[in-house]
Amino acid sequence: MVNALASRYGATLRKGKERALVAEVRTGGRFLVLAFPQTFVNLSGESVARLMRRYGLEGEPDRLVVVHDELDLPTGRIKVKEGGGTAGHNGLESIRAHLRTGAYLRVRLGIGRPPGRQAGADYVLKRPGKGERMELAVSVEEAADAVLCILASGVGEAMNRFNGAPP
Inform me whether the pLDDT recorded for 46 exceeds 70: yes
Rounded Cα distance, 164 and 77, in Å: 10
Domains located in the chain, CATH noted: 2-162 (3.40.50.1470)
Cβ neighbourhood burial of 95 (10 Å; 0-12, 13-18, 19+): buried
Beta-strand ranges (E) seen in 28-155 are 30-37, 65-70, 78-82, 105-110
Phi-psi domain of 96 (left: phi exceeds 0; alpha: psi -120 through 50; beta: other): alpha
Inform me whether the pLDDT recorded for 116 exceeds 90: no
Q: pTM surpassing 0.85?
A: yes
Inform me whether the pLDDT recorded for 167 exceeds 70: no
Percent of the chain with pLDDT strictly greater than 90: 68
What pLDDT is attached to residue 115? Answer: 73
Contact 94/45 with Cβ under 8 angstroms?
yes
What pLDDT is attached to residue 122? Answer: 65
What pLDDT is attached to residue 139? Answer: 92
